[in-house]
Amino acid sequence: MAAPVVLLAPGVYRIPTMGDFINSFAFVDDDGQVTLVDCGLRRAPRRIVEGLAGIGRRPADVTRIILTHAHGDHAGGAREVLSASSASGVDAHADDAPFLEAGRNAPGAPTTAGRMLGRGPMTTFSSVPVVTLLADGQVLDVAGGLRVLHTPGHTPGHVSLLHETSGVLITGDAIFNMASRMRWPVAAVCTSARQNQQSAHVLGEVDYQVAAFTHGPEIRDRARETVRGFLLARRAAP
């Protein structure tokens, strides 16, 4: 069984909500306020509460919730977590905000497989209000500064997040690390798999010491070099 919370850097934590298969993340400011990144599936809130307890925090300490994108395995638990928190809504990129407020996934690939998966059980979730629209390059007032990196393709408004103070990068679903092996997300669930592969290259151009993934365990040893190696070996054509 996965630990309820994993320390990534001082004040930065990974909360496994379904083993290492699906993760949320928590940033704790000096005053004890918590920013939560992603809320997992509908059943994830219990794991999030356990993770917060593991760092001496409660749901009411959560004052900000950031969703990397509009998919049910990231937003499924958002309504319940939001209701127990001190946040008034969630933060998300403008291009994914309409899907979160409608309670449905951003569109997948325009293929037979994409349309079939688009009718699956995780494609709808309880809607949540978006109170802050995120933009590429924006630095959020979170634990010393959290930089938004717009990495579209998995969804139109998918974002990755860089905490420069601690050197932690959260890739969201731009890159998976399932079974400790990096790979692209399944093309059928991406709005544009090619765009995902192109935009993810920004993750090799910024500096960090820990690469954290929503799907899979983090990489601590030569993280940037390892991610760059993956990206260079799988560079998409323009």
State the CATH number of the domain containing residue 207. Answer: 3.60.15.10
- Check pLDDT > 70 for residue 1: no
| pLDDT band with cut points at 50, 70 and 90 for residue 15 | very high
Phi and psi at 149, nearest 5°, equal -120, 110
Give burial (CB, 10 Å; 0-12/13-18/19+) of 141.
exposed
Task: Name the residue range of residue 160's domain.
Answer: 6-102+116-233
Q: What per-residue string of b and e applies to 205-231 under the rule 16 or more CB within 10 Å gives b?
A: eeebbbbbbbbbbbbeeebbeebeebb
User: Which position has the token pair 């993760």?
Assistant: 23
Kindly state whether residue 195 falls inside one of the protein's structural domains: yes
- Check pLDDT > 90 for residue 153: yes
Kindly state whether residue 40 falls inside one of the protein's structural domains: yes
* Tokens representing residue 90 in the block: 């969630």
Average pLDDT, stretch 188-211? 96
Instruction: Say what percent of the chain tops pLDDT 90.
Output: 88
Per the document, the length of the chain is 238
Other Cβ atoms within 10 Å of 14 Cβ, number: 26
Kindly state whether residue 107 falls inside one of the protein's structural domains: no
- Check pLDDT > 60 for residue 238: no
Q: Are the CB atoms for 36 and 48 separated by under 8 Å?
A: yes
| pLDDT band with cut points at 50, 70 and 90 for residue 146 | very high
Kindly state whether residue 1 falls inside one of the protein's structural domains: no
* Tokens representing residue 61 in the block: 């300490």
* Domain count for the chain: 1
Alpha helices, H only, the chain:
45-54, 72-75, 78-84, 97-102, 112-117, 193-199, 223-233
Kindly state whether residue 238 falls inside one of the protein's structural domains: no
β-strand 34-37 against 62-66: which pairing, if any? Answer: parallel
Using CA atoms in the order 238, 200, 19, 116, what is the torsion angle rounded to 10 degrees? Answer: -40
Kindly state whether residue 110 falls inside one of the protein's structural domains: no
Angle at 70 between CA 46 and CA 180, to 5 degrees: 65
Q: Which residue has the higher pLDDT, 122 or 185?
A: 185
Residue 120: its pLDDT value, please? 64
Cα gap 208→216, rounded to integer Å: 18
Residue 113: its pLDDT value, please? 62
Q: Which residue has the higher pLDDT, 116 or 210?
A: 210
β-strand 34-37 against 22-28: which pairing, if any? Answer: antiparallel
- Check pLDDT > 80 for residue 147: yes
Cα gap 12→9, rounded to integer Å: 5
Kindly state whether residue 224 falls inside one of the protein's structural domains: yes
CA 161 to chain centre: 8
| pLDDT band with cut points at 50, 70 and 90 for residue 180 | confident
pTM of the model: 0.94
Q: Who's near 159: CB < 8 A, 6+ residues apart?
A: 68, 69, 92, 93, 134, 136, 148, 149, 150, 151, 172
- Check pLDDT > 90 for residue 69: yes
Kindly state whether residue 108 falls inside one of the protein's structural domains: no
